[in-house]
């Protein structure tokens, strides 16, 4: 595959991923293209449904770029869903209005597990086409992040069939038949690796693994059933994108702050943290080995702009001064929320956040 794209105008995010000094702390927001934007709602209404939006290259490109038109964010992230891979495995993903995702077929016994296999990546062509389309549309403004759910997080939905408050079914299977769970996770890991590699080939400049439900696991089970398979994904990922640049890998485990000692040496460039973690303590644990991404509580964005600004400064302060030596690598911070932005967020509060992070982080480097 030979694809040529224009060079980046703003590579601040990629530099921070590589632990290179930057003039300011880059930021992007998980779920930055979403329902808090009226223009997103308008496009979604045109598309008719969430999957209608995600599977249409033009719509996916349009909504991915919408937040960048409003705010000077430092990265774009592919508009898609974490459950596209099990859908391609034949589980039948749907989104009922006002509810979360749901699979027509759940994987709960030996016979169902036996049918699982790495899906034909051609079934996910709509995702890779969207990546290429978005990268072209970005025209070098900021880098494009590709993503997938983690093997464990996908397994949660595949076994439960939908979201869960107690993870009873998936944990019952894990504790009762660890052999079956390991089989599901191995297939998921190899599928996610192929999926992310195809996104890289299509033009993704960084990739992120969302381990949204790793934090529900017990100590010990997290290491065996989530982290191990995230590592299996990481080990298979391409390190170079279509433009010959290295492709940073980000791992985000919601609720994973308690296991930072276990995560600090995994084979990736960036660790994402939720709001329960203290960035200064995390920096001390992780040392200089990885960039850190996070971690404002998305609920801060419901407060008035001056509170948003104060809380954003507190997050930047908790990380401390990033390194500023242009000739070496060192501790870097990528500002983000600790989880996806809420659909009820006032967009003007996001503007205050972006402005504060950019200006205060410049100031912090001069202090």
Residues that bind a copy of itself (CB under 8 A): 166-168, 171-172, 175-176, 215, 217-222, 255, 257-259, 275-278, 295-297, 299-300, 302-304, 307, 311, 314, 318, 338, 342, 344
CB nearer a copy of itself, residue 96 or residue 344: 344
291-296 and 333-337 as β-strands: parallel, antiparallel, unpaired? parallel
3-state secondary structure of 51: helix
Q: Could you say which of 81, 87, 211, 274 is catalytic? A: 81
Can you tell me the distance from the alpha carbon of 248 to that of 127, in angstroms, rounded to the nearest whole number?
Answer: 19
Q: Could you say which of 24, 36, 40, 157 is catalytic? A: 157
Q: Does the annotation mark 125 as catalytic?
A: no
What's the min distance (Å) between Cβ of 179 and a copy of itself? Answer: 12
Q: How far is CA 49 from CA 44, 52, 56, 96, in A?
A: 6, 5, 11, 9
Q: Could you say which of 19, 44, 135, 283 is catalytic? A: 44
- For the record, the structure tokens of 90 come out as 């034949």
What's the min distance (Å) between Cβ of 34 and a copy of itself? Answer: 14
Q: In this structure, what are the phi and psi dihedrals at residue 271, rounded to the nearest 5 degrees?
A: -110, 130
Helix (H) or strand (E) holding 152: helix 151-160
Q: Does the annotation mark 35 as catalytic?
A: yes
Can you tell me the distance from the alpha carbon of 318 to that of 301, in angstroms, rounded to the nearest whole number?
Answer: 18
Q: Does the annotation mark 183 as catalytic?
A: no
CB nearer a copy of itself, residue 202 or residue 277: 277
CB nearer a copy of itself, residue 90 or residue 178: 178
Can you tell me the distance from the alpha carbon of 107 to that of 91, in angstroms, rounded to the nearest whole number?
Answer: 9
CB nearer a copy of itself, residue 13 or residue 225: 225
Q: Does the annotation mark 31 as catalytic?
A: yes
Q: Could you say which of 31, 108, 249, 283 is catalytic? A: 31
Q: Does the annotation mark 70 as catalytic?
A: no
What's the min distance (Å) between Cβ of 185 and a copy of itself? Answer: 17
DSSP for 303-323, written as a single string? S-HHHHHHHHHHHHHHH-PPP
Catalytic sites, residue numbers:
31, 35, 44, 81, 157
């Amino acid at each position: 595959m030979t694809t040529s794209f224009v060079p980046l105008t703003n590579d601040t995010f990629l530099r921070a991923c590589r632990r290179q000094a930057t003039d300011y702390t880059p930021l992007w927001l998980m779920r930055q293209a979403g329902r808090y934007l009226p223009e997103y709602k308008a496009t979604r209404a045109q598309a008719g449904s969430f999957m209608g939006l995600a599977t249409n290259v033009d719509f996916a490109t349009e909504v991915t770029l919408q937040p960048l038109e409003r705010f000077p964010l430092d990265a774009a992230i592919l508009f898609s869903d974490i459950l596209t891979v099990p859908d391609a495995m034949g589980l039948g993903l749907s989104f009922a209005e006002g509810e979360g995702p749901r699979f027509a077929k759940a994987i709960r016994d030996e016979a169902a597990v036996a049918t699982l296999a790495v899906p034909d990546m051609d079934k996910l062509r709509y995702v890779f086409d969207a990546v290429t389309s978005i990268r072209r549309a970005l025209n070098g403004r900021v880098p494009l992040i590709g993503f997938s759910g983690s093997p464990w997080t996908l397994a949660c939905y595949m076994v439960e069939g939908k979201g869960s408050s107690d993870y009873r079914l998936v944990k019952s299977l894990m504790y009762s038949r660890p052999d079956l769970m390991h089989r599901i996770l191995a297939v998921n890991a190899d599928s996610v690796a192929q999926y992310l590699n195809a996104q890289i080939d299509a033009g993704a400049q960084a990739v992120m693994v969302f381990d949204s439900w790793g934090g529900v696991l017990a100590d010990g089970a997290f290491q065996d059933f989530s982290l191990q398979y995230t590592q299996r994904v990481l080990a298979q990922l391409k390190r170079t994108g279509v433009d010959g640049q290295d492709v940073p890998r980000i791992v985000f485990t919601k609720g994973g702050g308690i296991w930072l000692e276990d995560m600090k040496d995994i084979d990736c460039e960036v660790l994402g943290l939720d709001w329960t973690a203290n960035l200064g303590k995390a920096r001390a644990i992780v040392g200089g080995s990885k960039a850190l991404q996070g971690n404002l509580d998305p609920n801060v964005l419901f407060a008035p702009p001056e509170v948003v600004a104060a809380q954003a400064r507190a997050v930047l302060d908790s990380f401390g001064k990033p390194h500023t030596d242009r000739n070496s690598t060192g501790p870097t911070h990528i500002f983000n929320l600790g989880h996806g932005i809420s659909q009820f967020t006032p967009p003007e509060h996001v503007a205050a956040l972006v402005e504060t992070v950019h200006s205060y982080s410049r100031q912090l480097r001069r202090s």
